[in-house]
């Protein structure tokens, strides 16, 4: 079946009244959590997982897709009107967006963000529909050694490239992998890390882990920092754009999309790096460079397009390889597993209708988001006046209910609290959350591929590099790991010529800017740990 | 003498401030401006921001009024903050702005001004927006 007819079938499924309703619920919820700093789509999907067990998987995923895209839209509203990024991927938007709002151009900033997100989301989703089947065709030829290598690459890249500190990243990854190990060994049946407790033998339920880390950890963190000097929101009317704004926006939208999609699709993508790159590019190419720093519309249009395109890009490895690269995709992957659906290259063949309905619902959700965001952005901003104790009390209630309802065991509540405390400590000590959640979700799959590889090679570790692709990926892994060392060696050999590293010097600029933005604000967001990327690995 | 005024950046709050300034000039009193927030929401439009506070500061200084501006964020409601400040500084007068609210609204949401009126130990001057 070719892409187009599959996609049309997907639309037919996604547009049934019930599924359409779930799409609407999804985008509304997604926008709401996107607007609120600290709450992200990953947490929302995790909280809703237990609730959606009763639903058809298709309906549930249509809702999750809406939440995922909605979070990307909502984040920009907070960035622009409050100078506090609602999501880590809208950190850059705050730089120019808030300046525009202060100069009385909030309506135009919101409009270019929403329309740019729509354009980028639509192009990105189209690319996803076109690329994913191609990646699948390539991926089915991959054996276990290559898979293992790709997963290691994804984990390492997310840990080492994103986030401000490698040490913290690896600590977090280690914690995640350890949590993923708890339970019975899949091959030999040995008990691992169960401390003799039979309740731990089945392993920790991923829903409980995700809810604890995202929801309970964040709620405790907020409770510990409850009283903050409140800010005023910049009043704004209906978002609209003049002819000149359109003229200055459409190119950044397309360039942002071009940055966002490939970075999202890479195993270490994330939405942060392409937004920085887009910002820097727009600054360089702009005909009004003097406006940058004082509210240039290009600086909003480009990054906003980039983060939505990256959101679409991230779904490519998630659907085609079963490889999530951000927190929301990771939790969605966990959702596949809990519905008994095996993620990976065979997903398109075995669950074709579901996958295409999901992709179709991304188009629908994107359109719905434009409709509910363009006229209603000022209404969404009102959500920020919600007293946070009520908000977080509600979240804790749902978290507890959800964690209990998974297995109906009081023991899960103990795990919820313990891991919630862990989530709080991680925020306290600046450990990013993303590597942990990826470790928990990818760890067991990673182990499975490793075991398969070693079984095939009869225990010979040479089996790990028995495929050409695997060898190539191991080289990249080595470069990522050794990069700081290489950098140091190069610097030592040529101390005078620091201009030797143009990539690093290029990345310094947004890094400083991002630093100042998120200093002024709350920690960027819960869903991807210490949000703003420090660009160390762009080189 | 000391006068305490509960200020919010709304027409009612401005009316209260104007009245308080007039009272302070008349009796040559010290003026204590209280603008508080519970601080539990990210956004509170009743909490005055830097530029607004600065303009009040200038206005009071220009008129030669001995003044203190306080913005407590301690999780207490505005009535308690005003009453606290009045007690602490032995205020002789509290000035507040009254907002029109239906009886049902008052039943559900309560009323900051009502609490101040009932609990204050000194005279309370309540003004309405122009």
pLDDT over threshold 60, residue A134: yes
pLDDT over threshold 60, residue A402: yes
Q: Do A385 and B75 touch (CB under 8 A)?
A: no
Q: Is A389 on the interface with B (CB under 8 A)?
A: yes
Q: Is A478 on the interface with B (CB under 8 A)?
A: no
Residue A485 forms part of a structural domain: no
Same structural domain, A168 and A269: yes
Split into its structural domains, chain A has a count of 2
Q: How confident is the model at residue A523 (pLDDT cuts 50, 70, 90)?
A: very low
State which H helix or E strand residue B33 sits in.
Answer: strand B30-34
Q: Do A227 and B49 touch (CB under 8 A)?
A: no
Phi/psi of residue A188, nearest 5 degrees: -95, -15
Same structural domain, A418 and A526: no
Q: pLDDT tens-digit profile of A90-122? A: 888 888 898 898 888 888 999 999 999 999 999
* A313-334 mean pLDDT: 89
Q: Do B39 and A229 touch (CB under 8 A)?
A: yes
Q: How far is CA A109 from CA A33, A80, A233, B95, in A?
A: 20, 7, 15, 41
Residue A182 forms part of a structural domain: yes
Q: Is A243 on the interface with B (CB under 8 A)?
A: no
Contacts of A222 in chain B (CB under 8 A): none
Q: Comparing C-alpha atoms, which of A418, A396, A433 is closest to residue A523? A: A433
Contacts of A227 in chain B (CB under 8 A): 38-40, 73-75
Q: Do B40 and A84 touch (CB under 8 A)?
A: no
Same structural domain, A458 and A523: no
* A421-433 mean pLDDT: 92
* A483-492 mean pLDDT: 84
Give the closest of A36, A227, A385 to B39, CB-based.
A227
- Tokens 């779930």, residue located: A22
Q: Comparing C-alpha atoms, which of B85, B72, B81, B78 is closest to residue B99? A: B78
ipTM: 0.76
Mean pLDDT, rounded, of chain A: 84
C-alpha distance from B28 to closest chain A C-alpha (Å): 32
Return the minimum-mean-pLDDT range out of A127-131, A468-472, A503-507. Answer: A503-507
Domain containing residue A447: 2-466
Same structural domain, A403 and A537: no
Same structural domain, A526 and A434: no
Tell me the HSE value of A277 on the side-chain side, using a 13 A CA sphere: 27
The CA distance from A83 to A118, in Å, is 22
Same structural domain, A517 and A378: no
The B67-70 sheet, strands edge to edge: B67-70, B30-34, B2-6, B93-98, B124-128
Residue A162 forms part of a structural domain: yes
Residue A506 forms part of a structural domain: no
Length of chain B: 130
pLDDT for res A495: 60
Residue A252 forms part of a structural domain: yes
Same structural domain, A386 and A321: yes
Contacts of B43 in chain A (CB under 8 A): 82, 230-233, 381, 384-385
Q: Do B42 and A232 touch (CB under 8 A)?
A: no
Residue A486 forms part of a structural domain: no
Same structural domain, A113 and A250: yes
Q: pLDDT tens-digit profile of A189-243? A: 888 888 888 888 888 888 899 999 999 998 898 888 877 778 777 777 778 888 8
Higher per-residue pLDDT: A104 or A520? A104
Same structural domain, A134 and A192: yes
C-alpha distance from B9 to closest chain A C-alpha (Å): 11
pLDDT for res A537: 33
Q: How far is CA A426 from CA A68, A205, A365, A422, in A?
A: 24, 20, 33, 6
Return the minimum-mean-pLDDT range out of A98-107, A155-164, A413-422, A423-432. Answer: A155-164
Residue A86 forms part of a structural domain: yes
Q: Where does a domain end: A432, A451, A466?
A: A466
Q: pLDDT tens-digit profile of A250-282? A: 899 999 999 999 988 887 667 788 888 899 899
Same structural domain, A160 and A266: yes
Give the closest of A84, A230, A522 to B41, CB-based.
A230
Give the closest of A226, A233, A389 to B43, CB-based.
A233
pLDDT over 70 percentage in chain A: 91
Same structural domain, A455 and A527: no
Q: Do B45 and A384 touch (CB under 8 A)?
A: no
Do A335 and A64 contact (CB within 8 A), yes or no?
yes
* B20-36 mean pLDDT: 92
Phi/psi of residue A537, nearest 5 degrees: -100, 5
Give the closest of B45, B49, B73 to A227, CB-based.
B73
* A146-170 mean pLDDT: 85
Contacts of B45 in chain A (CB under 8 A): 232-233, 385
Q: Which of A34, A229, A230 to mutate to test the interface with B (most CBs of B within 10 A)?
A: A230
Q: Is A231 on the interface with B (CB under 8 A)?
A: yes
| Helix ranges, A322-464 (H) | 327-338, 347-350, 352-373, 377-381, 388-407, 410-428, 434-456
pLDDT for res A459: 84
Q: How far is CA B69 from CA A286, B43, B66, in A?
A: 45, 21, 10
Residue A475 forms part of a structural domain: no
pLDDT over threshold 60, residue A527: no
Q: Comparing C-alpha atoms, which of A358, A336, A315 is closest to residue A11? A: A358
Q: Do B43 and A388 touch (CB under 8 A)?
A: no
pLDDT for res A532: 37
pLDDT for res A496: 52
Same structural domain, A151 and A257: yes
* B46-62 mean pLDDT: 90
């Amino acid at each position: 079946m070719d892409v187009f007819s599959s996609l049309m079938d997907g639309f037919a499924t996604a547009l049934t009244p019930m599924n359409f309703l779930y799409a609407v619920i999804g985008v509304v919820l997604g926008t709401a959590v996107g607007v609120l700093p600290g709450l992200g789509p990953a947490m929302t999907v995790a909280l809703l997982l237990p609730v959606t067990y009763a639903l058809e998987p298709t309906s549930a995923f249509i809702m999750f897709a809406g939440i995922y895209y909605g979070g990307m839209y909502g984040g920009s509203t907070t960035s622009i009107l409050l100078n506090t990024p609602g999501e880590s991927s809208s950190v850059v938007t705050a730089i120019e967006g808030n300046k525009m709002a202060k100069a009385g151009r909030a309506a135009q900033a919101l409009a270019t963000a929403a329309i740019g997100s729509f354009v980028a989301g639509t192009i990105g989703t189209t690319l996803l529909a076109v690329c994913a089947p191609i990646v699948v065709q390539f991926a089915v030829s991959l054996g276990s050694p290559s898979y293992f290598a790709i997963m290691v690459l994804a984990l390492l890249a997310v840990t080492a490239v994103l986030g401000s500190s490698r040490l913290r990243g690896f600590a977090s990854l280690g914690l995640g992998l350890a949590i993923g190990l708890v339970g019975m060994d899949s091959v030999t049946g040995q008990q691992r890390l169960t401390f003799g407790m039979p309740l731990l033998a089945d392993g920790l339920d991923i829903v409980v882990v995700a809810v604890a880390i995202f929801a309970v950890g964040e709620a405790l963190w907020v409770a510990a920092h409850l009283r903050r000097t409140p800010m005023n929101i910049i009043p704004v009317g209906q978002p609209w754009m003049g002819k000149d704004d359109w003229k200055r926006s459409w190119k950044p939208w397309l360039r942002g999309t071009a940055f966002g999609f490939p970075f999202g699709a890479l195993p270490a993508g994330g939405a942060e790096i392409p937004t920085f790159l887009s910002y820097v590019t727009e600054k360089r190419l702009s005909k009004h460079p003097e406006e940058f720093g004082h509210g240039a519309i290009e600086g909003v249009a480009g990054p906003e397009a980039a983060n939505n395109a990256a959101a679409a890009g991230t779904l490519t490895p998630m659907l085609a390889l079963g490889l999530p690269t951000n927190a929301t995709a990771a939790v969605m992957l966990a959702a596949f597993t809990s519905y008994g659906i095996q993620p990976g290259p065979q997903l398109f063949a075995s669950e074709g209708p579901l996958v295409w309905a999901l992709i179709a619902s991304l188009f629908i959700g994107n359109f719905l988001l434009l409709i509910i965001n363009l006229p209603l952005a000022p209404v969404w901003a009102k959500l920020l006046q919600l007293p946070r104790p009520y908000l977080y009390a509600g979240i804790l209630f749902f978290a507890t209910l959800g964690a209990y309802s998974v297995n109906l065991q009081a023991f899960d509540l103990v795990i919820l609290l313990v891991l919630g405390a862990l989530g709080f400590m991680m925020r306290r000590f600046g450990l990013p959350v993303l590597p942990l959640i990826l470790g928990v979700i990818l760890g067991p799959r990673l182990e499975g591929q490793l075991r398969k590889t070693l079984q095939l090679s009869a225990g010979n570790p040479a089996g790990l590099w028995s495929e050409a692709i695997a060898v190539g990926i191991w080289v990249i892994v080595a470069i990522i790991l050794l990069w700081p060392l290489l950098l140091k060696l190069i610097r030592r050999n040529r101390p005078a010529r620091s201009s030797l590293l143009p990539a690093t010097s290029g990345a310094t600029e947004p890094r400083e800017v991002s630093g100042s933005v998120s200093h002024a604000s709350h920690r960027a967001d819960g869903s991807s740990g210490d949000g703003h990327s420090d660009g160390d690995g762009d080189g | 003498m000391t006068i305490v005024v509960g200020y919010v950046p709304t027409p009612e709050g401005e009316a209260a401030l104007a009245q308080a300034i007039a009272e302070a000039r008349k009796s040559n009193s010290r003026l204590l401006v209280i603008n508080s927030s519970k601080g539990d929401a990210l956004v509170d439009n009743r909490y005055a921001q830097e530029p607004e506070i600065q303009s009040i500061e200038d206005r009071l200084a220009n008129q030669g009024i001995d003044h203190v501006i306080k913005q407590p964020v301690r999780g207490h409601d505005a009535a308690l903050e005003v009453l606290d400040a009045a007690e602490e500084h032995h205020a002789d007068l509290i000035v507040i702005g009254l907002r029109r609210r239906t009886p049902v609204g008052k039943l559900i949401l309560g009323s900051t001004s009502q609490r101040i009126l009932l609990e204050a130990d000194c005279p309370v001057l309540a003004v309405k927006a122009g």
